[in-house]
Amino acid sequence: MLQVAQRTQDELKQEQDRLRATLEQKIEEQRRLIVAMVGKTTEQADQAKTIMQRVEKIETQLNKIETKLDTIPSGTPSYAEIARTPPSSQPQLESFIFKFNN
């Protein structure tokens, strides 16, 4: 009976050692996974920062272009300019249609 108990203890010790090794292996796998994920997150953050800097640069350039476009006359009068023009100096619709049809 003592041999059976000793054998059972040895088997339990072996099982415990095997489980401990498996657990340590799993812990190491998880550690590597976390390190990889943090590394990817850092890379993604750096990429996002670079992209945002480019977007800001493009927005600044677009704002400069829009400002320049606002200062260029369009060549066509605005509604307010037409409304201020006296009716006698506005083109007649009939003459426009006549020129357009001929």
- For 34-71, the pLDDT digits (tens) are 888 888 888 888 899 999 999 999 999 888 887 776 66
- Among 18-22, 64-68, 97-101, the least confident range: 97-101
Predicted confidence band of residue 98 (pLDDT cuts 50, 70, 90): low
Tokens 């088997």 map to which residue? 11
Buried b (16+ CB within 10 A) or exposed e, 20-46: eeeeeeeeeeeeeeeeeeeeeeeeeee
Residue 56 identity (one-letter amino acid): E
**Do residues 90 and 82 lie in contact, with contact meaning Cβ atoms separated by under 8 Å?**
yes
Mean pLDDT of 62-89: 72
User: What is d(CA 89, CA 1) in angstroms, rounded to the nearest whole number?
Assistant: 124
User: What is d(CA 11, CA 23) in angstroms, rounded to the nearest whole number?
Assistant: 18
pLDDT of res. 93? 60
Q: 92 versus 66: which is more confidently predicted?
A: 66
DSSP SS3 for 86: coil
Tokens 């977007």 map to which residue? 55
Q: Is the pTM of this model over 0.75?
A: no
